[in-house]
């Protein structure tokens, strides 16, 4: 699929990697819709995209809520005149150990169901809903397309991320599964699993903490968001790619 002239939806597209994906697609001539919960950030990205070759339009939507996703896909298709690719980027993390015993008091603390569910809802149920509605519309219109899921190196199991690791591992499993189910309809799937990426989350860390984290990366640095976009771009453009996950992690092993 050529990016120029194609129609894209990026979830969580007003900040971090999602913002980068949104603007990069538009720079390459694609028309892009994106969704987020932060209305000010949505307006800022729309303003930043003015003058780019591709059209950019933002929507406020919570990907964890079914009715909002159904409406989002409908509104995006109307705004762009169709939809060729979705990038399931929206995600949150609520880190914590499964259980932890206080060394002084002996009190046992447990990861709450709320903390588990909030991450699963956004990071796994959200992509399910977006992909389902995208694929259903594609089938109804006799049109193929591409689904790109943004996973993480944490999918291998990262200490303190029971909820996040489960969601990101599930995304890779769904990528493989959907490739088999949807190939007959001309829909390809792919996943990208980044390691540490230079986004506001990483930039907000204390320098000594960040330095310690990056020591685990053979390349001794975080990725630039543009480097993650290269993997997304490959999945979109390579017509013989489906059902696989591309790790872009600087060689880091979790």
Whether the pLDDT of residue 254 is over 80: the answer is: no
Percent over 90 (pLDDT), the chain: 88
Mean pLDDT, rounded, for 214-224: 91
pLDDT digits (tens, 9 = 90+) for 24-64: 999 999 999 999 999 999 999 999 999 999 999 999 999 99
To the query of whether residue 156 is one of the catalytic residues in this protein, the response is no
Confidence of residue 203 (pLDDT cuts 50, 70, 90): confident
Residue 52 C-beta-side C-alpha neighbours within 13 Å: 23
pLDDT at 193: 97
Question: Which of 164, 178, 196, 229 is an active site residue?
Answer: 164
Spatial CA neighbour of 231 closest among 211, 245, 217: 245
Domains located in the chain, CATH noted: 7-198+223-248 (3.40.50.720)
**Which pair of tokens denotes residue 127?**
């992509």
pLDDT digits (tens, 9 = 90+) for 160-196: 999 999 999 999 999 999 999 999 999 999 999 999 8
pLDDT at 174: 98
C-alpha to C-alpha distance for 75 and 178, rounded to whole angstroms: 24
Q: How far from 113 is each of 53, 93, 241, CA to CA, in Å? A: 45, 14, 37
């Amino acid at each position: 699929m050529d990016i120029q002239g194609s129609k894209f939806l990026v979830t969580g597209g007003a900040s971090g990697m999602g913002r980068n994906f949104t603007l990069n697609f538009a720079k390459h001539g694609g028309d892009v819709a994106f969704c987020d919960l932060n209305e000010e950030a949505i307006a800022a990205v729309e303003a930043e995209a003015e003058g780019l070759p591709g059209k950019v339009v933002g929507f406020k939507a919570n990907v964890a809520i079914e009715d909002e996703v159904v409406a989002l896909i409908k509104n995006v298709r109307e705004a762009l005149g169709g939809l060729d690719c979705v990038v399931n980027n929206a995600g949150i993390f609520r880190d914590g150990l499964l259980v932890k015993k206080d060394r002084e008091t002996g009190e046992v603390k447990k990861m709450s169901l709320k903390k588990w569910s909030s991450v699963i809802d956004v990071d796994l149920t959200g992509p399910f809903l977006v992909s389902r509605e995208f694929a259903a519309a594609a089938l109804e219109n006799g049109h193929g397309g591409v689904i790109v899921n943004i996973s993480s190196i944490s999918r291998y199991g990262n200490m303190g991320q029971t909820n996040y690791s489960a969601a990101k591992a599930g995304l890779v499993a769904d990528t493989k599964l959907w490739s088999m189910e949807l190939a007959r309809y001309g829909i390809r799937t792919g996943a990208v699993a980044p390691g540490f990426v230079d986004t506001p989350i990483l930039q907000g860390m204390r320098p000594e903490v960040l330095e310690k984290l990056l020591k685990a990366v053979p390349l001794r640095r975080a990725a630039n968001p543009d480097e993650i976009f290269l993997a997304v771009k490959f999945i979109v453009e390579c017509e013989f790619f489906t059902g696989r996950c591309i790790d872009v992690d600087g060689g880091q092993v979790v």
